[in-house]
Amino acid sequence: MTKMRTVDAIVAILKKEGATEAFGLPGAAINPFYSAMRNDGGIRHTLARHVEGASHMADGYTRAAPGNIGICVGTSGPAGTDMITGLYAAIADSVPILCITGQAPVAKLHKEDFQAVDIASIAKPVTKMAVTVLEPGQIPGTFARAFHEMRTGRPGPVLIDLPLDVQLAGIEFDIDLYEPLPVAKPAATRAQAERALDMLFASERPLIVAGGGVINANASEKLVELAEVLDVPVIPTLMGWGAIPDDHPLMAGMVGLQTSHRYGNESFLASDFVLGIGNRWANRHTGSIDKYTEGRTFVHVDIEPTQIGRVFSPDLGIVSDADAALTVLLEVAKERKEKFAVPDYGVWAKECIQRKGQLQRKTHFTEVPIKPQRVYEEMNSAFGQDVTFVSTIGLSQIAGGQFLHVYGPRKWINAGQAGPLGWTGPAALGVVRGKPGETVVALSGDYDFQFMIEELAVGAQFNLPYIHVVVNNSYLGLIRQSQRGFKMEQNVSLAFDNINSPETQGYGVDHLKVVEGLGCKAVRVTDPDKLQDAFSEANSLAQEHQVPVVVEVILEKVTNISMGTELDNVVEFEELAARGVDAPTAIALLD
């Protein structure tokens, strides 16, 4: 055995577990761990400007590629409390991140020492595991358990709190004897797969709903193969968007009250059977459960037992990893097709395709100020298929879900359930770390953008280039729209006359000056016909300077984006597409 500091053992364990990308801020109570990272050199650390930003960077990094686990590091007290929003976003979307905090010495934890907060208790509701390590000898076991928790069942974040004296203590440790704990994932049985397919084949208009669990399990190819073998259309959820490419004939559109397609909702309402794989039945996907379930039979497959029946009771529940379930479903489906006569769903699939060519929203508006729909149309043209979009919440994200196109897993990275404002920018930086050299495009409204705008300096300091599209209407647009039901418009305008930047014409904050002051580049667009040039310029600037580039688009101040309270009552506020030229970048041009 080798005698070493616990922090040196921790760094060795992180490397053995394959977690070598850290984001954070040093401080007195975590400096020993920083000294260990410095001495070893095997963990890359990105210095954030805010610990919440660091947690979102770790989140984005994890989501960027299979197997990634981002690390967020902070000192004692407020550093840990700053991480809570990041932990909430991660657990809500089943994202494993490891948060490490410093802490006061063990002997002072009960004496109201400086920045000695019980962060483990605070973090427990938003983590799979949160613990303060009280004995040096607990370090190896605690970290082994932490990685096991993050990878077992429904993935999620963990927080480990390290008192200063525990960090500095010596332990006998041999990294060669350390082995990651094995991860056993539940798998659907052949009998369960046969029963699920019996139920599917008994239906006339089946659908597969693919959730984020399919992407987490790296099972998108098997999902597409199953759909093709069965000739059954697929509805991805917002977290599962990209599990089947948007241009695949069996991609039937997204369903929901907000981030949905007209044709997706119509096809779902026409269905009579739903096989849900790795999804949560989130309320903005379902609307009311009575309407969503009426006239349909449901099979629900999820890795987490407590998810089965949490929202509504399916006709058959199967606890299984998505990849394992798809493997056995494929096996049984192929055998059935070879040996028996099975229903032909080709006519039903063609009906779903026809809806894509008939039920489009208009995007080609020419007005000035710019209507947001035109921005997404031009983004589709400018960035093509090989792009990763990053977004979080607001009318910008909802419209993005309605109009953008996603062509593969992990190419739509979105804070789904929590939706914290400010998540987009730092998460995009984490995605760039996880996808070096690839095209990353973030999408924000002006309020989301302003929340953690300081993190742009991180992109400038560490040369993390991406394009950040900011659609600026100087409003809290989603909240303003929701206030329509109260017949009010209260505390939602961000507009003011900027005495230092009259060129902003009453839109308030001069984002270009702020962005440039943080070491990045920025372009402002006021004419829809100049959007392509702006995106091209932004791409050139990002490549030349290797920094984030912001494209600020000045929108009309008030736009209501399509949404409703039920799948069959989504309100269309704008003119619908009547001809192909009305929606020129739609997946299926109008018939």
pLDDT digits (tens, 9 = 90+) for 65-90: 999 999 999 999 999 999 999 999 99
Across residues 235-259, what is the average pLDDT? 96
Query: Any idea of the CA torsion for 405, 384, 584, 232, to the nearest 10 degrees?
Result: -40
Q: Looking at residue 419, what is its pLDDT?
A: 86
Residue ranges of E strands in 482-525: 521-525
Q: Looking at residue 310, what is its pLDDT?
A: 95
How many other CB atoms are found less than 10 A from the CB of residue 105?
16
Of 502, 475, 494, 491, nearest to 396 (Cα)? Answer: 475
DSSP-assigned letter for residue 505: T
Q: Looking at residue 341, what is its pLDDT?
A: 84
What pLDDT band is residue 485 in, cutting at 50, 70 and 90? Answer: confident
Q: Is the pLDDT of residue 591 over 80?
A: no
Query: Residue 564, class by beta-carbon neighbours within 10 Å (0-12 exposed, 13-18 middle, 19+ buried)?
Result: middle
Q: Looking at residue 240, what is its pLDDT?
A: 97
Strand order in the sheet with 388-391: 412-414, 388-391, 440-445, 467-472, 549-554, 521-525
Q: Is the pLDDT of residue 492 over 90?
A: no
Distance CA 425, CA 216 (A): 22
What pLDDT band is residue 417 in, cutting at 50, 70 and 90? Answer: confident
Q: What is the pLDDT of residues 314-341, one digit of tens each?
A: 999 999 999 999 999 999 999 999 988 8
Q: Is the pLDDT of residue 476 over 70?
A: yes
Distance CA 516, CA 315 (A): 56
How confident is the prediction for the chain on average, in pLDDT?
95
Across residues 164-171, what is the average pLDDT? 95
How far CA 359 is from CA of 156, 286, 407, 424, 509, in Å, comes to: 38, 20, 20, 30, 38
Distance CA 17, CA 20 (A): 9
Q: What is the pLDDT of residues 266-302, one digit of tens each?
A: 999 999 999 999 999 999 999 999 999 999 999 999 9
Q: Looking at residue 64, what is its pLDDT?
A: 97
Across residues 402-409, what is the average pLDDT? 97
Under 8 Å between Cβ of 275 and 301: yes
Q: What is the pLDDT of residues 341-365, one digit of tens each?
A: 889 999 999 999 999 989 999 999 9
Q: What is the pLDDT of residues 534-577, one digit of tens each?
A: 999 999 999 999 999 999 999 999 989 999 999 999 999 999 99
Under 8 Å between Cβ of 276 and 232: no
Of 104, 151, 155, nearest to 132 (Cα)? Answer: 104
Q: Looking at residue 200, what is its pLDDT?
A: 97
Across residues 472-500, what is the average pLDDT? 89
Q: Which two tokens stand for residue 223?
A: 């999902």
What pLDDT band is residue 116 in, cutting at 50, 70 and 90? Answer: confident
